[in-house]
Amino acid sequence: MEVEKKCGLCGEASKHKCAGCQLVYYCCPEHQKKHWRVKHKNECAKPYELAKNEEIGRFFVATKAIAKDTILFTENPLVIGPKWNLDEYEQRSAIVPCVGCFADCHLGQFQCGLCRWPACKPDCPGLTNANLHGLECGILRFGHPPKPGDDPESFFEYYRYDALLVLKCLATQIRSPALFDQMINLESHYEARKGTRYFRDADERVVSYLIRNFLEPLQKLELKEGKQVLKICDRKTLHMISGILEVNAMVIPLANGREICGLYPIGCMLEHCCIPNSFYTFDCSKGMKLTFKAGRDIKKGEHLSTTYTHSLWGTQLRREHLKTNKYFSCKCERCSDPTELGTFLSALRCMGLEGEPCGGFQLPIDPLSDVSDWKCNNCPVQITYDQVNFLMSKIGEEVDDVMGRKSSVKEFEDLIHKLQNFLHPNHFHLLTLKHSLVQMYGHFKGFLLSELPDEMLKRKLQMCRDMMRIIDTLDPQSFRLSLYAGVILLEQQAALLELTKRTQRKSEAEFPRDNQIGDVQRNFDEAVQCLNRAKVILKNEMGTQQGKKLLEKVLEALDRADSMKNMATVPLVD
């Protein structure tokens, strides 16, 4: 495999090769040492190599077989900060992340004593940490924050957290020009972004805001003092950084439920695939260190891949997200298959001829085309892309409405019943609703587990089984959907054990028949299998508060199952 003979640090033509991996070239020993410190020590002598082609760009390919759970590499973030792509409600929230440690704090309560940006407490250690708030504090001091009693709107306008990460990236040139050069050379798709709504939004919310409030006052002082702090701070550079973050930044879930973003130069080089072979975790206790692991056994010659979309989105939605945010069109095995590996995750019910449903399902004729018409797999009926798009838009609005407010069990049931007339039972919109409904059955007032009618309890169980079958196809090792699957498995075992209790109570009132004994044992065995599987797949979620809490519930449920086995009227065995 041909590797470009250019210096890994400066890009100049080179002939000296790394003695370890024999893949990276250097123009001089000094550049090799610098590159080793900032990047190459995480790549060298690994069971994979860096390659490049015109279609994909840079990617990693396995040079030998890699076993499941092998740590591929670890990497510290080049920079971390608040999310750059905040939702509107987040932009206008009075609860904001501390600029020192990202803990929740109230706007206007405590501040950094130097720049007066919100902090969890005046002496938060992160305020002076050079890798955290210390990076941008000196620049933020040039701003003029609102004072108590000012119009509340002025606070939201001034404290724009979605601009902080761009400023942090810009400020890395003060601390480490080499790291800044490494960051600014990441793909920004600057030319492709120009003229898009993302470019215009970044220009208004981030670039113009930073220049007006902080960079222009800094430049005036630089001119007056004859000393330059930021050598590069022009509008184009700020837009390039915005593009770099848009394409490469990774979302980091914190233990408090908040999300921040980090930039990982090696991590962002992994190729996307909708059925990936590796995954990543973050260690919040070690400065948000990123760890990439093999999610399954990887064969020699396979490209290392992860996914940058939600695994339970339909093909059209996944490809649209990737094209808009990552600037490429996925052509993986799943995207190329109209049925999405037999899951029918995007399929629509065919209305048939003259309003008589034929029992078939509408699927895209060419799933890799953004404007493909759809065709029934059971009759000649076809529908246009515009018709599909209109239907999906309307259904998406209804699902978002129910999911976005405190809807009742009946509202979820009614919407599922309605949408089943239009969508395949496995459609991703129905999965979203069902995943919520199985948690409502057994936990909502009037729908506690012991109160559920047998029919509703069996419906909960069936929905859990159906969802797990889909996960077993799209993520058989459950390394991408571990939390999602963990919730389903916990609810599935709860339904199974409740059915077991009811059967046992029935057997106490009458002599237990063989089929009752068999049902009890099968339900109990399946429940224990669910819990043991959940315990295994949640091991990779111990860096999140949600994962830790879910595992606690799983372990408690295992204890209850063990107690139930010991007290059973009908004998149970593991």
pLDDT in tens, 278-297: 999 998 888 899 999 999 99
The answer on 89 and 183 residing in a single domain is yes
The answer on 251 and 172 residing in a single domain is yes
Predicted local confidence at residue 511, as pLDDT = 53
Query: Last residue of a domain, which of 245, 261, 277?
Result: 261
Which pLDDT band, with edges at 50, 70 and 90, does 517 fall under?
low
Give the Å distances, CA to CA, from 98 to 117, 127, 260.
Answer: 8, 9, 11
pLDDT in tens, 121-145: 999 999 999 999 999 999 999 999 9
Domain count for the chain: 3
Residue 345 covered by a domain: no
Q: What gap in Å lies between CA 126 and CA 130, rounded to an integer?
A: 8
The answer on 254 and 106 residing in a single domain is yes
Residue 431 covered by a domain: no
pLDDT higher than threshold 90 for residue 14: no
Long-range contacts, 338-344 (Cβ 8 Å, 24+): 338/363, 338/364, 338/365, 338/367, 339/363, 340/314, 340/315, 340/474, 341/275, 341/473, 341/474, 342/473, 343/426, 343/470, 343/473, 343/474, 344/424, 344/426, 344/427
pLDDT in tens, 307-364: 999 999 999 999 999 998 888 899 999 999 999 999 999 999 999 988 788 999 999 9
| Mean residue pLDDT across the chain | 91
pLDDT higher than threshold 70 for residue 573: no
Residue 291 covered by a domain: no
Give the Å distances, CA to CA, from 449 to 370, 442, 560.
Answer: 44, 4, 15
pLDDT higher than threshold 60 for residue 243: yes
Which pLDDT band, with edges at 50, 70 and 90, does 2 fall under?
very low
Region 219-231: what's the mean pLDDT? Answer: 92
Question: What's the predicted TM-score (pTM) here?
Answer: 0.84
Residue 497 covered by a domain: yes
Residue 1 structural domain: 1-45
- Residue 530's domain is classified under what CATH number? 1.20.58
